[in-house]
Amino acid sequence: MAVIDRAEPVRGITLADAWRSFRTAIGLGWAIESNWSDPFLFAVYTMAKPLAAAGILVVMFQVITQGANPEFLQFLIVGSALWNVVFGVMSGLVQSILEDRERYRMIKYVVVTPTGLFPFLLGRSLARVLVSFVAVVLTMLVGVLFLDVELRPNLLYLVPATVLGVVAVIALGVFMAGWCLQLRQEAWSYPEAIAGALYLISGAIFPIDILPSFLHPIAYASPTTWWLEASRRGLLGHGSPGALGGISDGMVLLLLAVSTAIAVPVALAAFAWFMQRARRAGLLDMTTGS
């Protein structure tokens, strides 16, 4: 039978559509992240990595200082704990997009749905982000209970700093996800490489004054530097040792807001361009075998 009636035009994507896609992707992401094992092993996996990473730093600190300079230990614990979020967000976004392209081969179908990839990607990676927040809480808890870390939270400062920081880190992750779609091979290693480089320059576990001077401008330009600094002030009541510690609280928050305000539109524009290029070059259904 011939089709004589024209189909109804597809209506524009509404917020409700995007929300539905986001919510479904959260469930999918959680299932993929957690159903590979029984709850006990999953809990061990969630706890062992961040605690071991913090443990390495604590032992290094104890070996050298024999427990002197507790402020530096607090600096280490908070930096090490919060870094789980940076790594969780970046690897979550990148691995979600790569797994759906390379392994499950679903990304092309998601892209052609009316809501598109973006809300799906955010929801799909949220499980890893949540797990990374569990790691933050756990590391801080161990710090408080066993290592005499004294928390003096200032919520009026901490909450906006956390919101801005997480938005900035998600922006970096979105940029990375788009970028990794363009890569031929080894895209899986990029989040680790970029997160590792940021770890080095953001003052996560040592004051940025220790870095060679040519890296200082990059450190000051990174939103992760200001997020960690603002979070330390919001959690501990004092900043990092060194030059960053001398900057006022208001200025640190302002610099975090400015760097986030730059990072977000740049990341969104880059992601849109990367997606356009991926469509044109046929990268959405490509498998690299990596």
Partner 1 sequence: MTRYGSTTATNPREAADWSTGRVIRTNLRAVVGRAYPRVIGLTREPSWLFFEIFLPFLAVSAFVFVYRALEAPEAFIGFVVLGGAMTSFWLNVVWMMAAQFYWEKDQGNLELYFTAPMHLMSILAGMAIGGLVMTSSRALAVIGIGSLLYGVTYDVQQPFLLAGVFLLTMIPLYGMGMLFASLFLLWGREAFHLAQLLQEPIYFLGGVNFPLRAIGPVAGVVVATLPLGVGLDAMRQLAFADSGVEGVLPVGPEVLILSAMGVVFLVAARLALGYLETLARREGRLTLRWQ
**Which residues form the interface with partner 1 (CB under 8 A)?**
36-37, 41, 44-45, 48-50, 52-53, 55-57, 59-65, 72, 76, 103, 185-186, 189, 192-193, 196-197, 199-200, 204-207, 210-211, 241, 289
Structure tokens at 273: 């361009």
- State how far the Cα of 181 lies from the Cα of 86, in Å rounded to an integer: 20
Within its chain, how far is the Cα of 38 from the centroid? 26
Q: Which is nearer to partner 1, 60 or 281 (CB)?
A: 60
**Closest distance of CB 57 from partner 1, Å:** 7
CB distance 153 to 236 below 8 Å: no
Q: Which is nearer to partner 1, 35 or 282 (CB)?
A: 35
Q: DSSP code of 245?
A: G
Cβ neighbours for 283, distance < 8 A, ≥ 6 positions apart: 181, 182, 277
**Closest distance of CB 1 from partner 1, Å:** 41
Q: Which is nearer to partner 1, 116 or 245 (CB)?
A: 245
Q: Which is nearer to partner 1, 6 or 184 (CB)?
A: 184
- State how far the Cα of 92 lies from the Cα of 155, in Å rounded to an integer: 27
Task: Return the half-sphere exposure (C-beta side, CA atoms, 13 A cut-off) of residue 190.
Answer: 25
Q: Which is nearer to partner 1, 52 or 155 (CB)?
A: 52
The string over 203-226, giving b where at least 16 C-beta atoms fall within 10 Å of a residue's C-beta and e elsewhere, is bbbbbbeeeeeeeeebbeebbbbb
- Write the CA distances from 76 to 81, 107, 118, 127, 187, integer angstroms: 8, 39, 35, 26, 30
Identify the CA nearest to 126 among candidates 212, 29, 259: 29
**Closest distance of CB 225 from partner 1, Å:** 14
**Closest distance of CB 36 from partner 1, Å:** 5
DSSP characters over 145-196: HHS-------HHHHHHHHHHHHHHHHHHHHHHHHHHHT-SS-GGGHHHHHHH
**Closest distance of CB 76 from partner 1, Å:** 8
Q: Which is nearer to partner 1, 60 or 251 (CB)?
A: 60
Q: Which is nearer to partner 1, 41 or 159 (CB)?
A: 41
Q: Which is nearer to partner 1, 182 or 276 (CB)?
A: 182
